[in-house]
Amino acid sequence: MCYDRYVSICKPLHYGTLLGSRACAHMAAAAWASAFLYSLLHTANTFSLPLCHGNALGQFFCEIPQILKLSCSNSTPRELGLVAVSVCLVFGCFVFIVFSYVQIFRAVLRIPSEQGQHKAFSTCLPHLAVVSLFTITGTFAYLKPPSILSPSLDLALSVLYSVVPPALNPLIYSLRNQELKAAVWKLMTGSIKKQ
């Protein structure tokens, strides 16, 4: 998404060539391959752990930190290796996103009209908000200190990074649409008048 925004704002005349079907297919394949590798590593590690504290989790979602709590072996070295791979993947994505948004904001600030700047910012900020929410809550959920032991905090964090960003994504992007805003406003004012 950030590369799409970058090309559409910083290089609009080259949009068709830089984001053709082949480029989109390569980016999708790279994302799927890295996600598959990441999940395969965690799945292999999880299935190799002996569980001695039962198999019931106090979560709605089968989280890796929760499974590690059920293990009776010391899985710290293997998990640290997986965290290192995860950090490399996340850091690479983070650097790419930051670089893209720095270039975007530099280009937007050079737009002479205030209306053009507002339109460009309203295109970029929803994506940045969703990515930030996902990244911050996911990072805290996986890298929080073991001294903070709270099942309700673990549940809240897993909901925040696994349910809220995908649920907010269509809502945030569709609220830019003026027709949808008018329909929601009409629906809200109509329901208030009926009460």
Cα–Cα distance measured from residue 120 to residue 9, given in angstroms and rounded to the nearest whole number: 7
* φ/ψ (deg, to 5) at 53: -105, 35
pTM of the model as a whole: 0.61
In the 8-state DSSP scheme, what is residue 74? -
Query: What sections of 11-75 are H helices per DSSP?
Result: 15-18, 21-47, 64-70
**Residue ranges of domains in the chain:** 2-117
Tally helices (H) and strands (E) across the chain: 9, 0
| Confidence at 173, pLDDT banded by 50, 70, 90 | low
| Confidence at 190, pLDDT banded by 50, 70, 90 | low
Sign of CA dihedral 154, 155, 160, 162: positive
Structure tokens at 64: 């890796």
The per-residue DSSP string of 118-187 comes to HHHHHHHHHHHHHHHHHHHHHHHHHHS-TT---HHHHHHHHHHHHTHHHHHHHHHHHTT-HHHHHHHHHH
Summarised one tens digit per residue, pLDDT across range 35-91 is 888 888 878 877 777 777 666 666 666 666 667 777 777 766 777 777 787 778 778
